[in-house]
Amino acid sequence: MSAPLAKVADAERVLDVANLRAYYQTWHFGVSRDVRAVDGVTLHVDRNEIYGLAGESSCGKSTLIRTIVRAIRPPLAVVEGSVRFDFGGRACDIYALDRARLAGIRWRHLSYILQGSMNVLNPVRRVRESFVDFAFRHIGKPMPQFLALVEDHLARLRLDPAVLGSFPHELSGGMRQRVTIALASVCRPDFIVADEPTTALDVVVQKDVLALLREVQRQIRSSMILVTHDIGVHANATDRLGVMYAGRLIEEGRTGEVIREPRHPYTAQLVTSLPRIGDIEPKQGLDGAPPSLAAPPPGCRFHPRCPLAMEMCRREHPPMVEVAAGHRVACWVKAPPGGMAAP
Footprint of another protein on 218-257 (CB under 8 A): none
Distance in angstroms (rounded) separating the CA atoms of residues 338 and 335: 8
Contacts of 57 (CB under 8 A, 6+ apart): 229
Using the rule CB under 8 A, is 279 a contact of another protein?
A: no
The number of residues that bind another protein (CB under 8 A) is 24
22 interacts with another protein by CB under 8 A: no
Q: Residue 16 is inside which H or E element, if any?
A: strand 13-28
Q: Kindly report the backbone phi and psi dihedral angles of residue 132, in degrees, each rounded to the nearest multiple of 5, phi listed first.
A: -65, -45
Q: Which of 97, 82, 85, 70 has its CA nearest to residue 40?
A: 82
Is residue 203 close enough to count as binding another protein by CB under 8 A? no
Interacting residues of 114 by C-beta distance below 8 A, sequence separation 6+ = 120, 195
Site mask, another protein, residues 88-127, x = CB under 8 A? --------------xx--xx----x-xxxx-xxxxxxx--
131 binds another protein (CB under 8 A): no
Q: Which is nearer to another protein, 73 or 283 (CB)?
A: 73
CB of 102 to another protein, least distance (A): 7
Q: Per CB under 8 A, does 185 bind another protein?
A: no
Burial 21-56 (b: 16+ CB within 10 A, else e): bbbbeeeeeeeeebbbbbbbbbbbbebebbbbbbbb
> How many whole angstroms separate alpha carbon 32 and alpha carbon 57?
24
Confirm or reject binding of residue 140 to another protein (CB under 8 A): no
- Which of positions 47-86 make contact with another protein (CB under 8 A)? 69, 71
- Of 90-98, 128-136, 156-164, 290-298, the window that binds another protein (rule: CB under 8 A) is 128-136
Tell me which residues touch another protein (CB under 8 A): 69, 71, 102-103, 106-107, 112, 114-117, 119-125, 130, 133-135, 137-138
